[in-house]
Every structure is written in C-alpha cells, then in structure tokens.
Structure 1
Amino acid sequence: MTLPPTAPDIAGALSVHYGFTPASIGEGPSGTATRNYLAEDLDGRRWFVKTYPDGTDPAAEEQALALGEYARRAGVPVPAVRPTAPDGRLVAAADGLSLSVSAWVEDAETAEGGLFGDRWAAVGETLGRLHRALAHHPAGPPRPVPARQACDVERAERRLRGLLARWTATAVASEFGRWARQTAADRLGALPGVAVLLEPLPPELTVQVVHGDLASPNLLLRGREVAAVIDFRPPRPRSAAWELGRIVLDPRTVLARPDDWIPGLATALTAYRAANPALPTADLLAVPRVAAGHLACSVYPLSEPLDDPAAVTPALEAYGRARHQAGMVLREHLDEAEEVLRDVLR
C-alpha cells in the first residue's frame, strides 16, 4: 500500500513545480479519494493542495480543473487554480506524486448542513449562472435527449441484479452490509413502480456540460451566500435537471426540513430561471421527479461494502440510509412539489 505523502514531500513538490517554499503545511479537508493539505506561503497566502492516489488519470484531472477555470472566467465563484511553473499545467505529476494547487476559500463551510432561508435563492442563482456559462463550453451545446436517459430503469435493473449476485456470493459480516443487501433487493423489486413514476416526464430533457459531481461537499457557503463551487469533473453532457435535483434536493435538506423543502425548491428554481432563462421550463418542472427516480435507481452506496470496504465509515452509512429515506419522501410528495413548481414557473 502506498503511504500518503508527508509534509516534506509536499514542500518539495511545491518548491519544484510551483516555485514557492511553504511557511507551513497542515492537513486540509478530507476528500473522497484524495489527500488534501493547506499550505501557507511566505507572504501569508493560503493554498489548497490536493494530492491524488495512485492510478489517477492526470489528463482527466487536468480537464476537470480546466472546466472549473472556464466557469470561473465566466464569473462563477470557483477558486483559481495555480498553474505549475514554468510549463503552466494544472496538475503536477512527478516522482510518484500528483497534485494540484488552488486558492484557499476562507471562512466557508460545505452545504452538508442543508439549505435553508436565503441560501435557497443564492444556490439557485449560482447554479443558473454555472449552467448558463457551461452551455457555451466547446465540448458541445445543450441538446434534447429522451427523458429515459436521465434515469435509465433498464440499466438500473442490470446493475442491481449484478450487485445482488455479488452479495449472494459474499458472506455479509456487518450490519450495514446486511442493510445494503436488503435495500438493493427492495430497490430491484420496486423498479416496475419506478418506471410508472417516470412516465409523466416530458418526452425529452436537456443535456449539456455540467459540473458533474455537484454534491453538498462540493458547494461552499459563507453565511447566506455561495462562496465557491469546487471539484468539477471532466466535461461531459448530463441532464441539467439531474444536477439541479442532486444539490437542491440533497437528502439531508429534504429530511431535516420536511415542511420547507418544497417552497425552498420553488425559490431555488425561480432564482435559477432568472439567471439561466434558456433552460426549458419542462426541465425545471422535472427536477423532483428526476431526483426521485435517480435515488430509486442508484446502487450507491449499496455497493461500497463490496467495492471499497475502507470507505464505509459511520458518515457514509448515515448518508446511505438518508438517501434511501429521502427517496421515499420525494416519491410521496411528488404531486405536491410539482403543483407548487407549476404555480411559480408558469
């Protein structure tokens, strides 16, 4: 097993590839797969240093960082990436260590605490500006595709059957593993109903270049405002409605605020439309139904005890259960949510 880089390793890489000697280096916010650090230079500026595990594709990470830079140049709050010196790359890779450096976002917290109050409008407006900017990305303009591509029930059935076959061949040792196996079976059995649930979607939904991983840890807030959008994925067309639902209907928000998420959703999508009027209203109206369908078809994190047992932390277990419960809440209140959205978006 490769050991994580040490502070001297990071200091040496910053000196060689970025042209500065850090005055201090400490542990940064934890990443899903990366090891992160906070470095301060001799002028007192602070930098977020992300180191990538073995097997990371530097070209893909370059593309992801370049997408964030594209959005930043369009006015979206994205931390600036510091290029290497003198070759100007966004990822430095040498001597078994790959890393990137970007500006540190001061006094911010992730959106994992959920959306509430003025944050609904702030997040909706920021996402509208983000999608409006990315609609002009060279990877391709927005285009309509069959709505089933936003939530493919047939693909979900194949994945769930494959996962259950693996669970059948594996001794289940943990309580979460037993829950994950049973939940996968429940989701497979519920798929015919999910297909019916998705029938009211419009024939087509819009796909375009989007952030790609806009989960709550990747949205930084400062008070009532959005401080930064971070951790983009390489440019790829995905459903705009899917990305909207993923962040504004985060399970923690839905479960923590049972009386607030529907009016909050309406507020967020109203602000989104003001910032990005080009996205068809049909896509905005589809957000809660696409979100419900996506949660019902997902195998994450039900596969994690098999794919990456070390990643199964108490936090992941709690999040997995919250995703499942939030999906049921969304399905139960779909008609109400859509009625409110039709009133405010007509």
Structure 2
Amino acid sequence: MPTPTAHTAAPDPATELGALLETAYDLDGVRLTRLPAGQNTINYRADDAGGVLFVKHYLPGTDLAAEREAIGQSRLAGEHGVPVAVPRPTRTGGTIATTDQLAVSVWEWMPGRTVEDGLTPGQQEAAGRTLGLLHTAFADHPAAAGGESRRLAKWRTTDPAAKATATVDQLLDSIADRPTPDSFDTEAVRTLTERRAALGHLPGLIAGLPDGMTTQVLHGDYSAVNLHFDGDTLTGVLDFLPPAPELIAYELGRIAFDPRTVVHDPDWIGAGVRLVDAYRRANPHHTAADTTGCARIALIQLTTSLYGVKDHYLKPGLLQDDLDAFWLLRHEAATRLLDQLPDVEQALAEAAGPQ
C-alpha cells in the first residue's frame, strides 16, 4: 500500500492579513469582512474594540512607492480642507505595512456612502465645489512644473482611433469564436459595433479641443465611486493617484458628465452644468477653456476607452460582473454625449458668460 503523501495546506490569506495587522498596527483580533468594491485592491472592513477601520490589501506587483505618493496626496488635500480619509500609521510611522507576501494600508472608516445611480442636485454642487477646492490646493504642486498632459499629447500625436478600432476588432473576433454566445456576448457585439462607428468621430473631436486648457496635478480618479456622501454633504474623497500633470478639464468633465448622471438623469446636461458652475466658483485658477471644453474631453476619453468589455474577454477583473455593467453604462453615456455634444457645449458656454 503506498505511503500517503504529506501536503502542507496553503496559508490562509485572512489569517496572514490578521497577523500583519497585529504586528504592524497593534490591531489584535480584528474581524475582517471583505467588501464588494475595488478592482485594483482587495478591501476589507475591520472591526475591533476600538471601532471600525478600512483595510486596503494591495495586489501582487503593485507599485508601492507610487501608492505611498498617492497617500501623501490625500494628506495634502486634507490639509487644505478637503474631506479625506486619514491613514493610520504603522508602528514605525509608515503608511504601508509589508511582508514577503502582503502589503496593506489601514484607514479611518469614512462616514456616508457612494452614490450608484447619479448625484442629486445638492450632491452635484458639493462635488463641484470640493473639486474646485482640491484643484486650488494642488495648483502650485511641483510635480506639474513644466509638464504637459500625457493624455492630451497622446491624442494629438498618435492615432487613438486606429488603436481602439484594432482592439474592437480583436474582441469581436474573440466573440465570434465562442461556440455558444451568452447574453453579454450579444450585448458586447452590439455595443462594440456601435463603438467602432463612433471612433470615426475622434479626429474631429480632438481637432475641436480649445486652446488654453490648464494642466496641473489633480486627484487623478475623481469619480462617483471615490466620493462618499451623507445626504447632500460630501463626507469623503478617496483613492487619490500619485501626482502627475493632467488637464483640469479631464477631471472636471469626468465627474460633471459621469455616466450615471448622463444615463439616469433626464436633465443630465443641466446637472453637468450645475456641477461645473459650483467648480468655477470654488477655483479661481481655471480658464474658460477648462470649463467649456470639459464635456468634449469626457467624450473623447469615453470613446477611446474599452474598460470593462476588454477586461471581460482578455483579462477578467476581480469583480467582472460589475465591470460588464459599467461598460454598458459608459457606452450608453458616450452615445448620448456624442449625439448631443453641440447642445452640451452651448450650455457650458452660456453658463460661463462673456469671456
């Protein structure tokens, strides 16, 4: 009779995570609950006798130096009155604790919740005002000195439509090779075919961008999923990115014409203008081009992005069902923005007044 082979059980990630929290943060016996949010980190709610904390578990290969820079951005914004989560320092005063297998940061638990179906008028005001405050705080950030938006330079010096079209064709070929298409495959074929046609508008959209747009350091990912609200009060701005020069109009257009607003709000143009007006009042450093060009920037970004559907067929994400739904939402938003861009830009220009 053969001798049974001994197998060593793989370490339990939750056990290892709990041990790291104890040794690095003096958090003994915390109860961890995984949260159904986050595509680039695994996130947990941590309960212990001292209260509730937020734990961010970084995936293997994460650039931890960049993550530490991002945490520094959050702290800087907080010093200027932006409501941000406060990172809990490790025993040695660091912001990220590591072992050979794990890397985590721990944060205070922020009040409020994310809004998933479009911001209310009061929330739009708060989001615009807070973004204006944040951009004012970062206006002189040294990381943007002499820099330009890599995104804008890429749009103007390469052929983004050709690259995106090639990826669309690759995805359509992949779907055609599937023996039994499912319901998402059917939707993907429809939306990718529509997107392929929309990409033909890119050269004109890029050529129509206004001159004089401001480049500076931004939040980097100022979107609805990274904002916490309690009613109409914005209680937390989360998940900053490392400092890099980028267009004000990119970040402003992205939140003013958030896909949830564009798809779910019957008066989405008015909603976007409302947010931009609140931003304009809070940031004295903006130019007219920053506000009047923000919808066009948002449309170009949406049109060139295949986020969600590309992941589905090439490299599924942590929460791929969410990404599938987000692709469909963003595609619908891009379609509406393209169809009504002249009306949107006229409304933004009228709101800005004589320049």
| TM value normalised by structure 2 | 0.86
Contact 1:146 1:203 in 2 (8 A): no
Equivalent position SS for 1:139: helix
Matched, 1:46 2:52: yes
Equivalent position SS for 2:221: coil
> Which of residues 306, 313, 318 in structure 2 aligns to 1:306?
313
Give the corresponding residue for 2:196.
Answer: 188
Contact 1:164 1:181 in 2 (8 A): no
Equivalent position SS for 2:144: coil
> Which of residues 92, 99, 109 in structure 2 aligns to 1:104?
109
> Which of residues 206, 230, 235 in structure 1 aligns to 2:214?
206
Sort the Cα spacing of 1:3 and 1:78 in 2 relative to 1 into closer, same or farther, 3 A.
farther
Contact 2:191 2:328 in 1 (8 A): no
Contact 2:292 2:345 in 1 (8 A): yes
Contact 2:132 2:283 in 1 (8 A): yes
Equivalent position SS for 2:229: strand
Give the corresponding residue for 2:265.
Answer: 257
Q: How does 1:167-178 map to 2 (within 5 A)?
A: 167-168=172-173, 171-172=177-178, 173-178=181-186
Sort the Cα spacing of 1:114 and 1:150 in 2 relative to 1 into closer, same or farther, 3 A.
farther
User: Where do 5+ consecutive residues of structure 2 fail to align?
Assistant: 1-9
> Which of residues 19, 26, 31 in structure 1 aligns to 2:38?
31
Q: Percent identity?
A: 34
Contact 2:227 2:237 in 1 (8 A): yes
* CA distance in 2 between partners of 1:274 and 1:3 (Å): 53
> Which of residues 229, 236, 241 in structure 2 aligns to 1:233?
241
* CA distance in 2 between partners of 1:113 and 1:246 (Å): 15
Aligned length: 340
Shift of 1:214: 2.1
Equivalent position SS for 2:280: helix
Equivalent position SS for 1:109: coil
| TM value normalised by structure 1 | 0.88
Give the corresponding residue for 1:279.
Answer: 286
Contact 2:174 2:313 in 1 (8 A): no
Which protein shows a greater Rg? 2
Equivalent position SS for 1:101: strand
Contact 1:146 1:205 in 2 (8 A): no
Worse overlay, 315-324 or 223-232? 315-324
Matched, 1:342 2:323: no
Matched, 1:291 2:288: no
Matched, 1:321 2:328: yes
Sort the Cα spacing of 1:263 and 1:308 in 2 relative to 1 into closer, same or farther, 3 A.
same
Matched, 1:16 2:30: no
Give the corresponding residue for 1:134.
Answer: 138
* CA distance in 1 between partners of 2:236 and 2:146 (Å): 24
RMSD: 2.6
Worse overlay, 53-62 or 115-124? 53-62
User: Where do 5+ consecutive residues of structure 1 fail to align?
Assistant: none
